[in-house]
Structure 1
């Protein structure tokens, strides 16, 4: 599977780690403004629920036409046949990555993988990897315990358990916080790629995230992809922020 990143980032970032900027905005105009401002400093973007709900799969096609790779973060969770059809449709529009909830089970994950393969076969962008979301980085152990009805929660153990479902279902990787990355890497080596959200530059605000990490720390923990949100899009100079990310990944800061 081939993933496209910008030449500017590739020149300084370790080859195994790809930064992805989140387009967590309400409409296409706002997304286009971010893409235009970042220019060649970013070649991979995330389209989440808000933007996808507003603009539909056409926003994925637009980004592909602009020469960008696209991670569609829909966190699908439904019966296998429905997820298979959704994954097929998303992949058909050129997405390189798509998320499902790992808690949907290995059969659902396998259906997503099959649907993505079917959709990608008709697209010119190559394959579409399925990533299983383990535990949202906005949640801590107390929040997870409340949601799951548990008095005690071992976040790392549950992340590794859910990663096992993704591996069984044939997924390309998982979404987890950097704090669980080392345990997942120990259990699955390179067989699962790790996408780590909640990335913050040193000294920046954690916002609504609970388990955050710097780009360098996430890379050292084994990340293959990093999600950069307000650390870049909310910066006074987003291009400079991307340069800081690249320098951090290169070990310069």
Structure 2
């Protein structure tokens, strides 16, 4: 990991600040479904709890797969916006699969916090539960142009990659359907026990993308999507239901999110 220190945050209050301390999830910021237009509400809906330590994302034993075609894959996700076209169509946020996603639950356009450039600091505790992955992504809304589909992968942390004092994560850029970008993903080892609270930072704009962990630069990329992006915070179970039901719920925590919208005027 690069020992370069991350830049200081902007010298003003963040545009988005949430420690999830309220009695309910803020509906002015978060949609508690994972890409709901490609699935149905009972499958896309997140399982979570709010308490003094943030939001605990859960995978419950009775939780259905996100789509029957993708089984085994269960997700609890919070996202700051969404777009979809009409039922049966192919327009929608995050066309991330090559096997012909079509709209099942039209959701229209709901853009709650979708900057085209900015900075986000997100403090999390990843899951140690077998088969789990915690991730934070910024993905193109696609509501203006289907090419606006690029992704900044702030981090993806598999439970099996968490060590005592050092953990491995995937970070970088995914082009998806945006031919102005190129996929550029790397694995980094960060000096944290990722199951304990730690902070990831992403700074992106016309000069590129910087991703860091605990105040240090983890990766620099010369490219960045230049259109509205949705922040997605996800807990995945990817290897099927555990045979021993006592392992449920599988869980991870998001303690705090700070965001600055630096979209050029």
| TM-score normalised by length of structure 2 | 0.29
From the two aligned structures, give the one with the greater strand fraction: 2
| TM-score normalised by length of structure 1 | 0.29
From the two aligned structures, give the one with the greater helix fraction: 1
Of the two structures, which has the highest relative contact order with CA contacts closer than 8 Å and spacing of 6 or more? 2
